[in-house]
Amino acid sequence: MEKTLAIIKPDAVERNLIGKILERIESNGFRIVAMKRTQLTLPVAEGFYYVHKERPFFKDLTTYMCTGPVVLLVLARDSAIAEWRKLMGATNPKDAEAGTIRKDFAIDIEKNSAHGSDSAENAAFEIAYFFSQTEIQE
């Protein structure tokens, strides 16, 4: 079983979409092996997205991620990283396929409702960034 980090972003939490997104996760073969609802601070968001620190959207992205509560999740299944990215859809909801979370729920490329790790290396970093080993039960 592979693990990935997922985030339900502030725009989705604000619109009461936590339940709908969790339902899609569970009905698509993932097990939720850790979960917490919290609000990020700017230093925490900046540390999490440090790989994007040179990008023009870094300041807006990190500020946006602190505008309201988020739900942090560790998801497990075979090919969890790729399967969660498939279920989310393209980063920009305009490019996302029908039936994906971002197509159905996202507002724009910034308020795109969900995050997922993009590689095994980043998944390991991102899971450890938010969860200790004892918080993850398979």
Residue (63 or 79) nearer to ligand CMP, CB: 63
* Torsion angle in degrees (nearest 10) through CA of 14, 20, 26, 30: -50
Q: How many residues bind ligand CMP (CB under 6 A)?
A: 8
Binding of ligand CMP by 61 (CB under 6 A): yes
Q: Which residue matches tokens 């497990």? A: 76
- Site mask for ligand CMP (CB under 6 A), range 96-125, x = bound: -------------xx-x--x----------
Name the active-site residue from 9, 85, 102, 115: 115
Tokens of 134: 């004892």
Residue pair 27/36 in contact by the 8 Å Cβ criterion: no
Q: Contact between 90 and ligand CMP (CB under 6 A)?
A: no
Structure tokens at 118: 């993009």
Contact in structure between 93 and 102 (CB atoms under 8 Å): yes
Distance CA 20, CA 55 (A): 31
Q: Does residue 85 bind ligand CMP (CB under 6 A)?
A: no
Parallel, antiparallel, or unpaired: how do β-strands 114-116 and 2-8 relate? antiparallel
Q: Which of 42, 57, 95, 97 touches ligand CMP (CB under 6 A)?
A: 57
115 tagged catalytic: yes
Site residues (vs ligand CMP, CB under 6 A): 52, 57, 61, 91, 109-110, 112, 115
Active site residues: 115
